Copies of this chain bind each other. A is one copy, B any other.
Amino acid sequence: MCAAKVAAVATGTGRQVILDSAVANMNERGYHGTSMRDIARGADITVASIYHHFASKQEILQDIMVRALHDAIAMTRGALLRSGGAPADQLQALMRAWVMFHTTRQLDAMVGATEIRSLDDAGRRLVVALRDEQEHLFRDVVERGVEEGDFATEFPRDAVRGIINMGQSVCTWWHADGPLKPEELAERYADLALAMVKPTV
């Protein structure tokens, strides 16, 4: 909680301090388990002050999730553009970025992955649309790989689902002080993802 405040003070506006505290708290107890008073305490301000920056608790959650998903898409799309033209290279680049996001932005990713059910209808529609966009990034690459004979999977759709979910789950168990650095884990998972689509040769 104090760490969240320090980081936010160093990097951003009053809005950011609140978001950082909210993310930290929701990681420990979830959206409904986190009170506005918890968020205020972590941001070192009062509850009333939060309402100067956000209209409601719900708006805080939506802000967190939309930002996180937007950044995830930006990171994976960027990695895709920077990679070579071969489907195998592209898939590995996507997976590396996907895992990097779920380690370096672990707390945001965790909230983004687990709190969809806590969004109201409007927020849920927004987030689902962003998720679809993310899934299409992977799907297009794998389907092209199948068409061009680089991948031999019989079920590209299921492979993509598995790949995305596997990478997403990283945020549930990875620890910064564990044995694997984000880059190392990303490399291994890129390898796993490629194996799942059964590359020819």
Contacts and interface: CB of A to CB of B under 8 A. Distances in A.
Contacts of A28: 117
A161 B174 CA distance: 11
Query: Can you tell how many copies of this chain the complex includes?
Result: 2
Nearest to A174: B161
Interface of A: 27-33, 114, 117-118, 154-155, 158-159, 161-162, 165-166, 168-170, 172-173, 185, 188-189, 191-192, 195-196, 198
Contact of A192 (B162, B169, B172): B162
A29 B29 contact: no
18 contacts: A27-B117, A29-B32, A30-B32, A30-B117, A30-B118, A32-B33, A114-B114, A155-B188, A158-B188, A161-B173, A165-B169, A165-B172, A165-B173, A166-B166, A166-B169, A168-B169, A195-B195, A195-B196
B173 A166 contact: no
